[in-house]
């Protein structure tokens, strides 16, 4: 087995990995952290990401290859900065790269770009986006701790993979008593980085808790939920953010994630890693500590 828990690449800083298996190979779609000494603030200005580099491995024992720049913000007319966590899907031999980025008014949109190859280059299409209320809110009110926590959004795409086929809806995550998780339940409630995979007929929604730095998951019978909280996947890593993906390859499951170990703990200089993920006899994911076997 390849050396797990080590950075996939060390010549650039990478984060937010979305891993997929296409044509028998593993492809990883990460953010690209630029090295700089700029401001670090609550607006996330320290994350200066302007392009995407697609990583690939012939198998889990093979070296990881950086396939070069696949898309740059200069290629997307509406983007001003911060091309954050991307993902990719394949349909009918076409590859669709989805990415969030700030427009000229510094509002986040979701863009999509298309390629004939899983490593690009990708040609951007017009953007599409949706806010929770249907319109942009400059300074949304803080959610009370005892109120229902916000969940991620889900929507089916049109056949061309370029638009929503339906209005996005919020996914509900329940506790062990069937009640929605509360906003103040920072060890379990959704914060960012949703990922979904299917195991033994069940859907697993995994995500980051943000402030408490856990990767956790919930299980449901439908990709639209509801989901019931089931436990932790990964304990906190070096660095503030925790963002991941889960993929099956040749009968085994793998967790791709990032930390800031390559930069000695600088939050905006991260590195992508992976390790094997295991389930118990009841389908529960066995919790992992990032720096232990």
**What are the catalytic residues?**
16, 192
Q: Quote the CA–CA distance of 158 and 89 in Å, as a whole number.
A: 13
Structure tokens at 209: 């808790």
Query: CA of 107: how far to CAs of 2, 13, 24, 110, 266, in Å?
Result: 40, 25, 37, 10, 26
Return the bridge partners of 247, or none: 254
Residue (of 66, 42, 40, 100) closest to 271 by Cα position: 66
Q: Quote the CA–CA distance of 209 and 92 in Å, as a whole number.
A: 35
Strand pairing report for 173-174 and 227-234 = parallel
CA torsion, points 25, 263, 81, 18, in degrees to nearest 10? 20
Query: CA of 188: how far to CAs of 46, 110, 205, in Å?
Result: 27, 26, 12
279-288: long-range pairs with CB below 8 Å, 24+: 279/199, 279/253, 283/199, 283/200, 283/202, 283/219, 284/230, 284/231, 285/204, 285/217, 285/230, 285/231, 285/233, 287/231, 287/232, 287/233, 287/234, 287/235, 288/233, 288/234, 288/235, 288/255
């Amino acid at each position: 087995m390849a050396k797990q828990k080590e950075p996939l690449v060390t010549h650039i800083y990478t984060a937010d990995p979305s891993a997929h298996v296409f044509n028998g190979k593993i492809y990883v779609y990460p953010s690209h952290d630029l090295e700089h000494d700029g401001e670090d603030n609550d607006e996330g200005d320290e994350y200066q990401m302007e392009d995407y580099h697609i990583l690939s491995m012939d198998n889990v024992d093979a070296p990881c290859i950086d396939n070069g720049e696949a898309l740059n913000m200069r290629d997307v007319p509406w983007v001003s900065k911060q091309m954050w966590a991307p993902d990719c899907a394949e349909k009918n031999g076409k590859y669709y790269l989805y990415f969030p980025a700030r427009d000229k008014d510094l509002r986040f949109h979701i863009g999509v770009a298309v390629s004939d190859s899983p490593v690009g280059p990708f040609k951007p299409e017009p953007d599409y986006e949706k806010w929770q209320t249907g319109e942009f809110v400059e300074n949304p009110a803080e959610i009370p701790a005892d109120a229902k926590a916000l969940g991620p959004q889900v929507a089916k795409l049109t056949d061309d993979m370029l638009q929503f086929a339906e209005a996005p809806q919020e996914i509900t995550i329940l506790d062990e008593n069937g009640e929605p998780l509360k906003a103040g339940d920072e060890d379990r409630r959704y914060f960012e980085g949703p990922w979904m995979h299917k195991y033994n007929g069940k859907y697993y929604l995994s995500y980051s808790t943000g402030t408490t730095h856990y990767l956790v998951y919930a299980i449901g019978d439908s990709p639209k939920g509801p989901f019931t909280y089931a436990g932790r996947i990964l304990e906190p890593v070096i660095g503030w953010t925790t963002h991941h993906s889960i993929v099956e390859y040749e009968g085994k499951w793998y967790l791709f994630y990032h930390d800031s170990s390559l930069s000695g703990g600088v939050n905006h200089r991260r590195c992508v890693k992976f390790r094997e993920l295991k389930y118990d006899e009841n389908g529960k994911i066995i919790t992992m500590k990032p720096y232990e076997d």
